[in-house]
Amino acid sequence: MKNIILVFACILAFGALHAQGIQFAEGSWKEILAEAGRQNKIVFVDAYTTWCGPCKMMDRNTFPNKEVGEFFNANFINAKIDMEKGEGPAIAQEYGVRAYPSFLFVDSDGALVHRSLGYQEATAFLSTGKAAADPERRMSSLNARYAAGDRSPEFLLKYTESRAAMMDGSHTQVAEEYLKTQKDWTTEENMEFLFQYAEDPNSPMFDFLFKNRAAFEEMVGEEMVRGKIQQAAFSDAMKSRDITAEEAVAKMDAFFKAKCPDIAPRLSAETAMSVYRMSGNTDLYAKTAVSYYEQYPTDNYLELNEVAWAFFENVDDKAMLQKALAWGLQSVKISDEYFNNDTVAALYYKLGNKKQATKYAKKAIAIAKKNGEDATETEALLPKIKAMKK
């Protein structure tokens, strides 16, 4: 038994996906939790998907950082898990992973103690890790203070931040308690707080946002405010498990028309895309996506890549795939990255264009090698492309 433990420890220590920076352990989820218990450490999980552009940016820019690596390797058992393969879907369901990249911090018993999400530069990500490693900043300690009756503004600010990081909606009550301690909600600090933590579209915080929308747009920009409203309405509509896609779209459309009629058409079109994609209605998803981007074109290369990849995975209609190819090529033109070249190669492959599929696959692999990225998916695609008939 002792030898088995030592062998497994070596696997965890040397089964790294990065030559420097964060070293990710190999092994099953059960084995990784067991090793965390043996070393009395927390498990850090990079919950990613292969199509996620920001996930690949974390791989390229943040995880290899020397300071980040030193801290995470010393304090955590690090695991990198594809949420769409193997044990990934079950882990995603257990911890409510709905956005990528998500960063989970789990104790050896499998309890979630901290979480964060989205692309983070090295300095910000190091702060995330330090918060997760500090027992005084973990949820167990903060929960105890709250249960004991601490309602000081300073504590409520910190507690709101920590509860929000758990992504379970529990921060809303704490945020409202904090705002009750504030006489003036229109200060810059309180408006920033409210915009960051307001999630329930039917709450007093969102009522304040709607009434002062122009001020918020001046503070963070129209696109940010629009996205905030859309996400809140989407999450609220999708709470009901029995609601159909058409009912959800209609519910959100009515909400937008009542609360912000001037931007309701765009919000409705954007949320309809998300609903139809989630519901698996590929025809309606494709039609609404094409219509949306014709009316509201974007120069966000990450957004363009994501919708292009979604078409590759879900759409078979050749005319619609040509639309996706145009988005993918536009993404590459804006920012020439491994992941969007990979998307373009995949789309050309699905469209039956062997020459262009080969060109972009080889280009994607070359970029990946130059930047130290994992090109496994594209390398696996190349033989399939070569097997195509001209």
Q: DSSP characters for 60-93?
A: IIITT-HHHHHHHHHHEEEEEEETTSTTHHHHHH
Fold of 2-133: Glutaredoxin (3.40.30)
Q: What is the mean pLDDT of residues 124-139?
A: 87
Residues of the chain above pLDDT 70, percent: 94
Across the range 293-321, mean pLDDT stands at 95
For residue 110, give Cα distances in angstroms to 104, 129, 290, 307.
11, 18, 42, 34
Beta strands 76-82 and 102-106, pairing class: unpaired
**H helix or E strand, kind and range, residue 105:** strand 102-106
**Of the candidate ranges 210-214, 234-238, 361-365, 385-389, the one whose mean pLDDT is the lowest:** 234-238
How do residues 183-210 score in pLDDT, each as one tens digit? 999 999 999 999 999 999 989 999 999 9
Copy the structure tokens of residue 379: 């390398």
In this structure, the number of other CB atoms found within 10 A of the CB of residue 109 comes to: 9
Rg of the chain on CA atoms, in Å: 23
> What's the confidence (pLDDT) of residue 165?
67
Q: 């594209």: which residue's tokens? A: 378
10/18 Cα distance (integer angstroms): 16
Question: d(Cα 388, Cα 305) in Å, to the nearest integer?
Answer: 24
The answer to whether 81 touches 88, Cβ cutoff 8 Å, is yes
pTM above 0.75, yes or no: no
pLDDT tens profile 18-50: 457 999 999 999 999 999 999 999 999 999 999
Q: What is the pLDDT of residue 137?
A: 81
| Token couple for 318 | 């050749």
Q: Give the pLDDT confidence of 208-248 residue by residue, as tens digits.
A: 999 999 999 999 999 899 999 998 998 888 887 788 999 99
Asked if residue 293 lies in contact with residue 327, where contact means CB atoms within 8 angstroms, the answer is yes
Which residue's structure tokens are 């309606």?
Answer: 284
76-82 vs 42-48, strand pairing mode: parallel
Q: Which residue has the tokens 């911890």?
A: 95
Largest CA distance in the chain: 72
Q: Are strands 42-48 and 102-106 parallel, antiparallel or unpaired?
A: antiparallel
Residue range 323-327: mean pLDDT, rounded = 98
Is the pLDDT confidence value at 4 over 60?
no
Q: How far is CA 273 from the centre of its chain?
A: 17
Structure-token pair, residue 34 = 């067991």
For residues 46 and 58, give the distance between their C-alpha atoms in angstroms, rounded to a whole number.
10
Positive or negative: CA dihedral 381, 385, 386, 387: positive
Extract the tokens encoding 215. Answer: 């001020």
pLDDT of 347: 98
Arithmetic mean of pLDDT, 78-96: 95
Work out the number of other CB atoms within 10 angstroms of the CB of residue 149.
6
pLDDT of 350 reads 97
| pLDDT (0 to 100) of residue 86 | 95
What DSSP line would sit under 30-62, residue for residue?
HHHHHHHHHHT-EEEEEEE-TT-HHHHHIIIII
Q: Where do the domains of the chain lie?
A: 2-133, 318-390
Long-range contacts from 210-217, C-beta under 8 angstroms, 24+ separation: 210/259, 210/260, 212/186, 213/260, 215/186, 215/191, 216/191
Which pLDDT value is given to residue 238? 80
- pLDDT higher than threshold 60 for residue 351: yes
pLDDT at 16 exceeding the cut of 70 = no
- Backbone φ and ψ for 68, nearest 5 degrees, come out as -60, -45
Q: Is 7 exposed, middle or buried (0-12, 13-18, 19+ CB in 10 A)?
A: exposed
CA angle 230-236-240, nearest 5°?
135
What whole-number percentage of the chain has pLDDT above 90?
Answer: 77
Of 359, 364, 357, 389, residue with least CA distance to 378: 364
Q: Give the fold, CATH level 3, of 318-390.
A: 1.25.40
Which of these, 109, 168, 113, lies nearest to 136 by C-alpha position?
113
| pLDDT recorded at residue 283 | 92
pLDDT at residue 6 is higher than 80: no
> Is-contact 4 31, C-beta < 8 A?
no
189 HSE (CA, 13 A, CB side): 7
